[in-house]
Structure formats: C-alpha cells, structure tokens
Amino acid sequence: MGSLINYIIRRVLFMIPVFIGVTLFTFLIGNAAGNPINLIRLAFKGTLPQNVYLQLVAYYHIGENPLIRYLYYLWDLIHFDLGLSITSQRPVASEIGPWVWTTLYLQLSALALALLIGIPIAIYSARHQHSKSDTTITGIAIFGYSTPTFWLGIIFIYIFSFYLRVLPSSGAVSAITPWWGNWTLDRIAHLILPMTVLTYVQLATIIRLLRGNLLEVLKQDYILAAMASGLKERAVIYGHALRNAITPIITIIGLSLGASLAGAPGLETAFSWPGLGYEFTQAALALDIPTVLGITVIISVMVLVANLATDLVYGFLDPRVRVS
C-alpha cells in the first residue's frame, strides 16, 4: 500500500516541471514578437477594436519586464483567466468550456464503442491467428489507420447526408428544427456520423495493439498453467490473457486520449463539430492569439491530467510498475 502512495506522489511531482515547461512554451510563442500585443497588432493591422486592445494591454501587463509578465501569466492561468478572444471579444476561458465538452463527448463515446467492439474482435482474431477471418480483420484494421479521418467523414457526409439524406452533415445540434423531432434524438443524429468515423479509426488501433499483445500473452506459461488447473477457457481468456494483454494498452489509450483532445481538427472541421480542434483551427486562421494559446494550455493540462490518471490506473492494475 505504501508503495502505491509513494508512486502517486512521484507521479504528481513529475507533473510540475512539465507544467512549467508548457506554460513557458506558450508564453514564449505569445512573446515571439517582443510581447503579445505586437504579435496581435501584426496580425490585425488596424482592425483591432480599441476596447479589446486596452483590455489586452492590461491583461498582458505590457510595460513590465518579461519575468514579471510570466509570473502574472502563471497567476492568471491558475485563476483560469486566459485573456480575451479577439474575434468574439469574450473571455477565452468562458468560451473553452463548451468546446472541451463537445470534443470530449464525441471522443469518449467513440472510444467506448471502439473498446466494446474491439476487445472481442481482437480476442477472436488472436485466437484464430492466420485464419481467413484474422487476415480480413487485420486488413480492415490497417486501412483504418491509413485513412485520413476527415476524408472518410466527407465520404460519409456525401453518402448519408447529400445522397441518402438520412443524417445531418454538420454541427452538434440543429439550429431551428430538431432532427427526428426531439432535441435529444437531434444530438444523437448529429453524433452518429463523426462518431462512426472516429470509432472505426480507434477500433483499428485497439485491434492492432490488443491482437499483438494477446498473441504474446497466449504463448506464456501462465496461460497453459491456468488451463492445466482446470479453469474454463473463458475464464483463462478473460481473467488472465485479456487482463495481461490490455494493461499496457491502458497507457496507450490514455496517451492517445490526450492526443485525441486536440488530434481531430480535420474530422471536427469536416463535420463543423464545434470542439477544441475545430475552434483552434478557426482561431489560428484568424490569428486570434489569446484563443490559440488558451486552447494550447488547456489541452496540455488536460493531457497531463489524463497521463497522471493513466499512470495511476496502470500502477493499480500492474503491481510491478509501483516498484521502479
């Protein structure tokens, strides 16, 4: 038990320098032209509204030396003050909340679905290695991670929205009349296409990794030993093989979850899905520096937290990790 607590403390302490690194990095980008205002003025030439300009000058503490400005920046970050969006002229922090949620529910529902489908398929594939169905499964999987998600999304939109007209093509929710007559169903209708594309891609990754690990694990003596002590095959597969094969994948899923918070700007843009990736893209095209840096910091922190959670779950699942 003591070793587990020790392990947690070590992981949390390790986050601090990385967090400082991230904030230093975004601070440096913001100050690439001397200070953030110079950068913003370069991008917006004469079109920056006076009131926004004044608020930003105050927010960035222009006139202080860079170290003091960095400390102010840290202080503001800790208080969840990310400055003012130039395009919407609203606080970045209050805008980001819904975006995070929109991205998360797309990503998490796809991940859950991919795990639900992927685990049994991977088990089947590993247990029938080199069979026709195994070859088909691995073939379909390798297509999954060779295909640009947004491109697949466009094909889906073309087929289901433009051609068959059965599902909406853009957004997370309808503007005026709900799809399928009800606002909950409307959200589901909007979710189906992007979620299907994302599920397919994540499914590909899960099947590929889990199948590979299972093939290794199934060769281990403890699997034979469990069989030899008279356990049911199901109990051996799910209790021993799957548990051993999936534990290292937890790390990869955790890391990719972090990446997927940001990693789907293409897909989100294809579906005009108002999540972090889509909004970052819009802000970056407009050179809305406060929004861009705000999203970067928020995603980095969320990735840090996701990594920590992953490490903890891993430490909990695999007793060997706690030692080193």
Partner 1 sequence: MSQLTEEQTAPPKRVHRQRSATQWAVAWRRFKRNKSGVAGLAIVIAFVVFAIFGPLFAPYPPRSTESLLQGQAGQPPSWKHPFGTEINGIDVFSDSIWGARNDLWIGVAATAIATLIGLAVGALAGYSRGVIGGILLGIIQFFFVIPTLLLILLFSRVFQVLVYQGFGVNLIVLILGLFGWPGISFVIRGEIFRVRELEFIQAEKALGAGNLRILFRHIVPNVLTPVIVLASLLVAGNILTEVVLFFLGFGPANVATWGELIEEGVQYVSVYPWVALFPGLLVVTLVLGFNLLGDGLADALNPRLRE
Partner 2 sequence: MEDLLKVEDLRTYFFTEAGVVKAVDGISLDVRKGESHGLVGESGSGKSVTALSVMRIVPKPGKIVGGKISFDGTDLLTLKEDDMRRVRGSKIAMVFQDPISSLDPLYTVGKQLIEAIRANNETVSKEQARDMAISLLSNVEISEPERRFNQYPHELSGGMKQRIAIARALARTPTLLFADEPTTNLDVTIQAQVLNLMKDLKKNFNMTLVLITHDMGIIAEMTSRVTVVYAGQVSESAETHTLFYHPTHPYTEALLKAVPRLDKRKQLQSVGGNIPNLIDPPTGCRFHPRCPYAIQICKEKVPDYEEVETDHFVACHRWKELSLVGVQ
Q: Which residues bind partner 2 (CB under 8 A)?
A: 127, 129-130, 218-232, 239-240, 243-244, 247, 317-320, 323
- Give the span between the Cα atoms of 287 and 301, in whole angstroms: 22
Is 166 one of the binding residues for partner 1 (CB under 8 A)?
Answer: no
Rounded to the nearest 10 degrees, the angle between the axes of helix 289-317 and helix 243-262 is 170
The dihedral through the CA atoms of 6, 8, 9, 13 has a sign that is positive
Residue type, 86: I
Q: Which of 27, 273, 280, 314 binds partner 1 (CB under 8 A)?
A: 280
Told to check if 309 binds partner 1 by CB under 8 A, we report no
162 makes contact with partner 1 (CB under 8 A): yes
160 binds partner 1 (CB under 8 A): no
Beta carbons within 8 Å of 242's beta carbon, 6+ residues apart: 119, 123, 214
Strand ranges, E, within 67-167: none
Q: Which is nearer to partner 1, 1 or 13 (CB)?
A: 13
Query: Do 68 and 61 touch, CB atoms closer than 8 A?
Result: yes
Token pair listed for 313? 């779950």
- CA dist 281 and 20 (Å) reads 25
Q: Which residue of 101, 143, 222, 238 would you call a contact of partner 1, by CB under 8 A? A: 143
**Residue 219: half-sphere exposure toward Cβ, Cα within 13 Å:** 6
Binding mask 199-238 for partner 1 (x = CB under 8 A): -----------------x----------------------
Comparing CB distances to partner 1, the nearer of 162 and 234 is 162
Distance CA 258, CA 306 (A): 6
Question: Containing H/E element for 84?
Answer: none
Rank residues 64 and 233 by Cβ distance to partner 2 and give the closer one. 233
Nearer to partner 2, 45 or 320 (CB): 320
- Tell me if 161 sits within 8 A of 168, measured CB to CB: yes
**Contact criterion met (CB below 8 Å) for 60 and 69:** yes
Q: Which of 9, 32, 54, 116 binds partner 1 (CB under 8 A)?
A: 32
Q: Is 58 exposed, middle or buried (0-12, 13-18, 19+ CB in 10 A)?
A: exposed
CB of 248 to partner 2, least distance (A): 11
Instruction: List the x/- string, 82-111, binding to partner 1 by CB under 8 A.
Output: ------------------------------
Q: Taking the complex as a whole, how short is the minimal distance between the CB of residue 129 and partner 1, in angstroms?
A: 10
Our CA dihedral for 155, 158, 160, 165, rounded to 10 degrees, sits at 170
Nearer of residues 68 and 305 to partner 1, judged by Cβ: 305
In the complex, the residues that contact partner 1 under the rule CB under 8 A are 17-18, 21-22, 25, 29, 32-33, 39, 42-43, 139, 142-143, 145-148, 150-151, 154-155, 157-158, 162, 216, 255, 258-259, 261-263, 265-266, 269-270, 277, 280-281, 284-285, 287, 292, 295-296, 299-300, 303-304, 307
